[in-house]
Amino acid sequence: MADGKPSLVPRGPQRMWAATQWSWRGLIQAFRHESSFRLEVYLFLVLAPIGAAFGSTAVERALLVGSLLLVLVVELLNSAIEAVVDKVSPEYSELAGRAKDIGSAAVFVSMLNVLLCWGLVLGGRI
C-alpha cells in the first residue's frame, strides 16, 4: 500500500499508467547499469525463440520461456538489493556482504532452474 490508499480501491488509469512508466524506467536503469542483466536479456532474446520453437506443447513452451523470464526477475531483485545495500552501508559490513551473496545465490539457483527445465523438456529428444 505504497500509495496510502486501501488496497481494495481501484487505482484508475492514470495510476496504472504511472506505475507502468516507473516499471519501464526500472528496466531501462537495470539495462544501463547492470552488465549481468544486459547479458541475461541478450541470452533471453536468443533462447526464448528457440524455447518457443522446440516446445511441443504449450506447457513445454511456458517452462522453457518462463524459466528464462524467472532469471530476469531474480536478477532485477538482486540488483535492487545490491543498490539498497550499497546506499545504506557503503563501507564493508558482514551482513551487507551476506545480503549480496544471498541475492547472487538466488540468481544462480534460477539459472540452475533453466538448466533443469531445458534438460528435462529437451533432453529426451537429443
- The residues carrying an active-site annotation are 75
Residues in Cβ contact with 81 at an 8 Å cutoff, skipping those fewer than 6 apart? 99, 100, 103
What sign does the CA torsion over 59, 60, 64, 65 have? Answer: negative
- Nearest CA-CA partner of 44 in 24, 77, 70, 23: 70
Long-range contacts of 14-18 (CB under 8 A, 24+ apart): none
CA angle, 62 then 65 then 71, to 5°: 125
